[in-house]
Each structure stands twice: as structure tokens, then as C-alpha cells.
Amino acid sequence: MVDEDQLSLHLDDAPAVSRAAAGRRMRRFRPMEPTIGDGPFDDPGYRFEPWWPGTRLLVTVADGGVRLEARHLADPLTAFPEMRAVADLVPDGGPHVLDGALLVLDADGRPDSDLLRERLSWPEVRDGTPAFVASDLLMAGGADVTHQTFRARLARLMGLLREADWCMVARGYEGDGLAVAEALESMGLAAMSARHLDSRYRAGPSRGAWLRLPLQPPAPPTRRPTLALIQRLGL
């Protein structure tokens, strides 16, 4: 993802969520920051998935409204109004808080970093199609789940989010980090994610609960892979 700095929370700039409900029921989360690892490995205690070519995003859904939290954007919904539709993909009530990566896809469904930077820099520009890949869950139905293991949080996330072609849970494989790395390198991706299955969500430094592992793709691909292809991983 583009950056890992702490996300800023701007409640006053979130008209899509009831402020009264927000003050009554929502809480602030400090995102977990990955530990930089040495490289791919196999370990049954970890789940391995792509390191998504997007920017970090927290998505809060409550009472039919959506709030986005992203670095340097006081109101990300101005730049990404399409993300309001996430409210249609989770159960009513909440709050639900999802952690993941915001992408912008080109006309062929390929993540495009230039289109993402354009939207982040000029919110009035609406080129490309936003997509969200959820990788973790912080709150479900108003209950804080950060104390639960990642295995448990992932299971709840998969049961909570009704997937669409632009909003989905990240695919991953347990244990087989080297095979996942080989598949991702063949797509030209430069990093992968490893999450410890028995770890809780840690605010700030992950202390090994979440790793960013560098990859060594043989050469830049002639064409970027589509979101759907990255999700399949080619294994």
C-alpha cells in the first residue's frame, strides 16, 4: 500500500454518518503498522496475501452511513463518493469498522497507481473506478473485536461483508508463503503481506503480528494484472 502512517480522524467532515450516532457509538482506532520482514517464508502460523497497490483505508459503516479514514484526506468521500455503496454490503446497524486497501482501477480492471494519485491530489477528478479490498476487521455490530485473534477476525469479516466485484475480502493462503510469493512475483508485485493467525490487532507497531515482505519480481510485467487475477493468485 502507498503509506503506513497513522490515519487521521475528522468526524466533523463525515456528513454521511449521523454525528449523534457517531458520538454515541463510535470509537477511534489507531491502525496497526506492519513490521518490515526479510523475505518470503513458509509457516503454518501465518496467512499470506498480496500487498495491495493502493492506499490504506479504514471504512466505518453505521446506520446506513459510511465514513472513510485515509491519510491527508479530511473527507475521503469527496474524492471517492462511490465508496458510500459499502453500506449496502454489510448488515444494518453497526458500527462495523473494516481495515484494508483502497485501489483505483482502470477500464480493464487493473489497479492503477497514477489514477489513485490523481484522485488523492484532485478530489474533483473522477477518473477510474474505486475498489476496496478488506484485510481485517476492528469492529462488528458495535463490538470491538481487536482483542480477538486474526483467525477469528478474518472469519467474522468473511461472514460480514457481502462481496461485489469492487469490494471484497483479500484472498490468502495459510502456511504456503513461498508459493504465494512465486505467484505474486510472476505478476510483477513487489511485496506480500503475512499476518499471524493467532495475534490480536495491535495499535501502532505490529510487533510481528503483521509483516510486509519484499519480493523480487524478475521483470516488470508488460501488462498489470487485473484485480480479479491478483485475487486468484495463480496457485
Indicate the CATH number for domain 11-232.
3.30.470.30
Domain residue limits, the chain = 11-232
pTM of the model: 0.86
- For residue 169, name the pLDDT band (cuts at 50, 70, 90): very high
Task: Report how far residue 189's alpha carbon sits from residue 37's, in angstroms, rounded to the nearest whole number.
Answer: 16
Buried b (16+ CB within 10 A) or exposed e, 199-225: bebbeeebeebbbbbebeeeeeeeebb
Of the candidates 136, 146, 141, which has an alpha carbon nearest to the alpha carbon of residue 203? 146
**Residue-wise pLDDT tens digits, 90-149:** 998 889 999 999 999 999 999 999 999 998 888 888 999 999 999 999 999 999 999 999
**Residue-wise pLDDT tens digits, 211-226:** 999 999 887 777 889 9
Peptide bond into 95 cis (omega under 30): yes
Let me know how many helices (H) and strands (E) the chain has, helices first.
6, 13
Query: Which residues are within 8 A (CB) of 117 and not within 5 positions of it... i.e. 6 or more apart?
Result: none
**Structure-block grid coordinates of residue 196:** 499471524
